[in-house]
Structure 1
């Protein structure tokens, strides 16, 4: 079930924190707060090569992201689906996210760090607070 236009705009147009959940090798969930963006119906986040999110998603590509409006806990979107990971263009993508959330390019760039773009296909969408 794809995102509705209102749900996509909610994700795209707001700098709300998101919670990304990936699965550890033992199957237990690992959840972290991330920046996110909507792109052509997918949810896109960023991490660094070798971090827990990166390792867990490479092991088991299932992921979910939940974004809650901080001014209205009854308005939220949850997206679950397969995650793909890509290093090409990931530095540009972290700058886009940083500009969305901080208003400037990513300030914590490290020369020994490889950034990774994580794209989550919206295979299942749950939401509340949107007109049906």
Structure 2
């Protein structure tokens, strides 16, 4: 597992949006914009069981996360790795992400909605910055 340096952690800890790329069954890429949270040297995001990215990651866990610093869009990070999906029984991650990005609780979940925690285990971290 690759580690995240302080500059990468700072970008992930900010209210910056991430683009998550997964691989569809036909081999085509699929990209979704998500909110993210860092947990040590891993990246977390939330999705529901029926979403295409969840289906893609269940079949093929390879994932790429690209995120840039809204305060300095010339600084960005790409994290390539594999995803681990677990059921979010308490739906704690959408609450944390909503508070991080909006400062409020998320809308109530749909009845029967199955929330998943996607944990990205980094294998390669590439940082782009003007000072590099």
Query: Cα deviations across residues 29-84 of structure 1 (Å, max 9, x unaligned)?
Result: 10010000111111110000111011000000000111112232210111110100
Where does residue 19 of structure 1 map in the other structure? Answer: 19
Q: How far apart are the structure 1 equivalents of 2:62 and 2:70?
A: 26
CA positional deviation for 1:107: 1.4
1:60-71 paired onto structure 2 within 5 Å? 60-71=60-71
Where does residue 8 of structure 1 map in the other structure? Answer: 9
Q: CA RMSD in A?
A: 1.6
Aligned length: 131
Where does residue 109 of structure 1 map in the other structure? Answer: 109
Q: How far apart are the structure 1 equivalents of 2:59 and 2:21?
A: 13
Aligned with 1:50: secondary structure?
Answer: coil
Contact 2:87 2:117 in 1 (8 A): yes
Contact 1:78 1:125 in 2 (8 A): yes
Superposition TM-score, scaled by structure 2 size? 0.91
Unaligned runs of 5+ in 2: none
Superposition TM-score, scaled by structure 1 size? 0.91
1:1-132 paired onto structure 2 within 5 Å? 1-12=2-13, 14-89=14-89, 91-129=91-129
Unaligned runs of 5+ in 1: none
CA positional deviation for 1:131: 6.1
Describe the shift of the 1:73–1:64 C-alpha distance in structure 2 as closer, same or farther (beyond 3 A).
Answer: same
Contact 2:76 2:129 in 1 (8 A): yes
